[in-house]
A and B are shown apart, each in its own frame.
Chain A
């Protein structure tokens, strides 16, 4: 057995233990930096590399060599080719090469009833043509654009998959697989009604918002379902709007369908990883109600309070502030990692991840050196 295979087996066991509620041999570690960071770290042009994926293998090789992690770092679902072919307005590449999400409205308020009656039909007939210029026109042109875009995305994902397989074989990462979905309320907000639009809707048409969340729930469940649920697979659900809602709106509009989504995933034997964005401290009692061993990666909040209230039932992650990698000394960065290990690691159920992703790299800045020091520290000092 090669060293890499041995490492993969050991790392798989770390996550099997973690996800099943056992205390693993040590705290599992994930590198918070993304493919964007890796490209810049390799000294290459961000936009060019996302269009020409053949440049990415050495990028990932250097990235994997220089930063400790138990899970494959990077990856991307925001590959520019298919967005360009569709004339995308909700996801566009900035002049600096980052893929960005401007505020868009894909569904008009007066279209709620149509959406509630048949959400997928409404998405295809109303939302997509409004958000993607190449899907708005003569049927033949739309069909051609859709075919080109789907083929482009399929080719790009397949190419990134081969790089991932090579890096896993060389560096022995855990064999994780994932699916992506959203809480129904967040889905209604992000690309359909917009932050501003949904914020008005909860006051003007709360019944329609609730009905739309109910209607779209089966789509969110289907989207988040892995073909073959396994102990090393999870459904990733980034959470967006709850911190911006009043408590009563959260209770009636956000929570019911979100809870059903997580419970349905768990009942199918799937792990669920929530990215608990912004500050959810006023909702901790709700989060406690979710199925045992739900993975919760927190952005902001009180790590001690979270460990106390949720740490015996759920798997806690996040909290490490990536801004410190930019502003702190190496020792301050390590001290922060130690502080979080001391709070969150006792008793297990802890996965070291940062509060958000690191996407930007400055050649003369301290982030790479500090991040490397933190990842090594947690690897070496996270043993149970």
Chain B
């Protein structure tokens, strides 16, 4: 999905290089979870 309001983990990481030396295997699923949760919340408002 091409949107400035939804980022994949890879897109997020590219915008946040400070995370590259952090435990990304633990960070990635958490960031992605809330990205997806916001998407579902927004779309639920229109269903």
A90, A121, A132 — most chain B CB neighbours (10 Å): A121
Question: Which of A63-71, A204-212, A218-226 sits within the interface?
Answer: A218-226
Cβ–Cβ contact A77 & B1, under 8 A = no
Q: How far is the CB of A236 from chain B (nearest CB, A)?
A: 10
Q: A190-B46, A191-B46 are in contact. Are A150 and B3 (CB under 8 A)?
A: no
Cβ–Cβ contact B1 & A219, under 8 A = yes
The tally of residues in B whose CB lies under 8 Å from a CB in A reads 17
Cβ–Cβ contact B4 & A153, under 8 A = no
A150 to B40: give the CA distance in the assembly, Å. Answer: 10
Tell me which of B41, B43, B44, B45 contacts A219 (CB under 8 A): B43
Tell me which of B5, B38, B39, B44 contacts A222 (CB under 8 A): B39
Q: Does B2 contact A (CB under 8 A)?
A: yes
Chain A residues with CB under 8 A of B38 = 150
Tell me the total A-B contact number using a CB cutoff of 8 A.
55
A188-202 CB contact bits vs B (8 Å, 1 = yes)?
A: 001110000000000
Cβ–Cβ contact B5 & A86, under 8 A = no
Q: How far is the CB of B38 from chain A (nearest CB, A)?
A: 7
Cβ–Cβ contact A120 & B41, under 8 A = no
User: At the interface, is chain A mostly helix, strand, loop or mixed?
Assistant: helix
Cβ–Cβ contact A223 & B40, under 8 A = yes
A132 to B44: give the CA distance in the assembly, Å. Answer: 13
- B window 1-47: CB within 8 A of A: 1-6, 37-47
Chain A residues with CB under 8 A of B41 = 149-150, 153
Cβ–Cβ contact A86 & B40, under 8 A = no
A181 to B39: give the CA distance in the assembly, Å. Answer: 13
Cβ–Cβ contact A187 & B1, under 8 A = no
Cβ–Cβ contact A124 & B42, under 8 A = yes
- A window 280-337: CB within 8 A of B: none
A218 to B47: give the CA distance in the assembly, Å. Answer: 15
Cβ–Cβ contact A223 & B4, under 8 A = no
A131 to B44: give the CA distance in the assembly, Å. Answer: 13
Chain B residues with CB under 8 A of A191 = 46-47
Tell me which of A86, A118, A153, A223 contacts B3 (CB under 8 A): A118
Q: 17 pairs across A/B with beta carbons < 8 Å?
A: A88-B45, A90-B45, A90-B46, A120-B3, A121-B4, A128-B42, A128-B45, A132-B45, A187-B46, A190-B47, A191-B47, A192-B46, A218-B1, A219-B1, A223-B39, A223-B43, A223-B47
Given contacts A120-B5, A124-B3, A190-B47, 7 further A-B contacts (CB under 8 A): A120-B3, A120-B42, A128-B42, A128-B45, A149-B41, A150-B38, A219-B43
